Structure 1
Amino acid sequence: MKFGRIGLAMLVATAFSVNIGSAAEKDPLAPRVPADQMAAAKAWKNPMKATPDNIAKGKEIFNGKGTCFTCHGNEGRGDGPAGAALDPTPRNFHNPKLKGKTDGEFAWVIKNGSPGTGMISYVPGVISEEEMALVILFERSLHDQP
């Protein structure tokens, strides 16, 4: 099923309990991948290289077709308009604690969603595997930015 940007943002915002004002990002170090799938997730290697061009492509997908910005904000700070209604709040990709997560863990969440959060599955319904890999490069580029 395909959704437009606004439709997807509305779906995400209404599919989970609204608790504006008291939401907080979940512990970035807590596992999102089920234990029985963690080894496979960690083994996944991003096929795209972290070049400035690929990171820019990832940002374009993040802020466009992928609709990630609706929850995570244009700069990946977890402050998007639909994210304000989610408890816990969306990931802030500027959080340096996320460096401890592998690209495979990021990919698993994008493919499968994250139970207990507003993160739904985006691959293959919204973006392709290659586009997911580019988005991960963009998200990774934010870990060292304040």
Structure 2
Amino acid sequence: MTRNSTRGIQVILALHLLLWGVTPLYSLGADPEVLKPRVPQNQLAEVRTWINPFPATPENIEKGKQIFHGKGFCVTCHGRDGKGLGNIPGLRGKLPRNFTDRAWQAARTDGELFWILKNGSPGTDMAPFIPLVLTEEEAWHVLLYVRSFGQPR
């Protein structure tokens, strides 16, 4: 992905904010269906077998953090602390996931999260990020960082 492509996506998000307000880009935590898979049922068994090829080392988690807060602009919807950025009046659709929710962390496999980064999240405004914004390697690193939100601190 070129720097111009990433900038284009950021411009689209900025225009969305100007035209529609902050709806539905910000949220507080997970919706009531937090444990419901977003992967279509006919793909779920296979997707659950996908394993992150990168170990959860401090270096790999830091790589994911840099992407989460930078190129991936995940922070825009999920916030710096992974909880989301508040329940804005007029929010449409399901809320972005609260990555600190341990029940959600335990229920979702890395393969499911990777599938969402590749395909988007049905019923939400979560768009596909692979390959438009992130490479597959970058996505796996982001998921290591996302998993770190569910760890005791």
The CA distance in 2 between the partners of 1:40 and 1:24, in whole Å, is: 28
In the other structure, the counterpart of 2:96 is: 90
1:63-142 paired onto structure 2 within 5 Å: 63-79=69-85, 84=88, 85=91, 87-98=93-104, 99-142=106-149
Moved more, 4-13 or 86-95: 4-13
Query: 1:42 pairs with 45, 48, 53, which one?
Result: 48
Shift of 1:88: 2.4
Larger Rg computed on CA atoms? 2
- The alignment's TM-score, normalised by the length of structure 1, stands at 0.83
- The alignment's TM-score, normalised by the length of structure 2, stands at 0.79
The CA distance in 1 between the partners of 2:73 and 2:52, in whole Å, is: 21
The CA distance in 2 between the partners of 1:105 and 1:12, in whole Å, is: 27
Shift of 1:43: 0.9
Q: CA 1:137/1:86 → structure 2, altered by over 3 Å: closer, same or farther?
A: farther
RMSD: 3.0
Amino-acid identity (%): 42
Describe the SS at the equivalent of 2:114: helix
The CA distance in 2 between the partners of 1:64 and 1:19, in whole Å, is: 20
Q: CA 1:66/1:111 → structure 2, altered by over 3 Å: closer, same or farther?
A: same
Shift of 1:52: 0.8
Query: 1:7 pairs with 8, 11, 15, which one?
Result: 11
The CA distance in 2 between the partners of 1:24 and 1:75, in whole Å, is: 11
The CA distance in 1 between the partners of 2:24 and 2:67, in whole Å, is: 28
Q: CA 1:3/1:12 → structure 2, altered by over 3 Å: closer, same or farther?
A: farther
Aligned residues: 143
Shift of 1:8: 4.6
Shift of 1:12: 6.4
